[in-house]
Structure 1
């Protein structure tokens, strides 16, 4: 496994691989890797000849400086996991390497309203930072295939939009969410949870699953109300539970009028913010 911290060395290596032929796959991460990330690496290895994983905690997508400071950075453990899971190349750049001219998002890139709801409402500026770093990383790596998890459903929609906007020659591959045995979506933030609250986090999956069961039986308003009630327990603070169109992310009023529906949720468990989603239809 090769490790690069500079763009020049990485690109020289990738240029040689392109001359030799074969498909280059890419998984972007912010580190603190878990089994969900390893599932992405496995799927990438199965589909591509060469695998690249980046570890970069992008400061421009954190609207809370304290959240950036607290974000876990177990880099040596991450490197070992990638080696054990047969990753070919790891890219671990500094902020200055990624943003040599400063970190100003592209003011010309709009999101057609995809950033105005759910995460966008509670994390202003977040998706501008996501699109910015993804455009930069895709420009650096120039893979044929990009692998990202379904857990960050709205983020994936933003990245797909950015790829289309810039006409980037990469195929977006969505990989299923990997869950703990009780349904909690695997996340780098899970390691920050208060152990006393860990058992309660299963309520998130339960609320999503109940919404899926109720989509053809109850009104959307009743589904949302039930979910928010389920999640409103001591030390939990739900921010939103939305039933949205899976393409536009607009709120669903009449489920019968939509072929692709997703339920999305964000909850504070103590001082850790967790997000999740479930495909309801489609």
Structure 2
């Protein structure tokens, strides 16, 4: 199976890996777009004010332009270690065992705005770019969505395994899921003490990170949706088909006294 994660705006500095080399990244069919986007981002960073505007940076974020200027020579680290924030804190890549890293390496991909889909252990530099950033790209592409979506969709269409999409909608649009059985977008909902189920906002990132971690620990070797749902039920997770005619799955998280996350240390009902 392949678990698809969103990136995060925040990223760790530094790294011990050699500078970015496209031929070391997963999904080699994406190399032409990667090269174009990286070149455009580095070129944009040569004009500080233009970069600040294009990346929608505040006064305290101006240093992000220098990060982008240094992309070709900056050190790298594994993707799951580079990204930070709520989802990645919950996933806690730093505590993965060597065996769990092997599972993540073959079963997890992150949707980068800069590099497209990258494997969990792919070496990536620090950078700043969002799915809705606008760059001067070749071939008349005015947005990253237009530039990435065709290549990203083709990369996923070539796979015949189970796809579990934990990306936000903006990043999912950079590589849309194929329209087939076994390709599922996951929506996180909360059930309050009265039993009412509603959308979950901020804490949905934490829930997705915890679910991704549990799947890695479980081996992420599910060959079908039924196997995945069976595993979830056995582990005490409420993961179910949306029942609305789509292929979406719903992850139901318990909520206590209006505070999602009071039981998030474990998603188990």
Give the TM-score of the pair, scaled to structure 2: 0.29
Give the structure, 1 or 2, with the largest relative contact order (CA under 8 Å, sep 6 or more). 2
As a proportion of its length, which structure holds more helix? 1
- Taking structure 1 as the reference length, the TM-score comes to 0.28
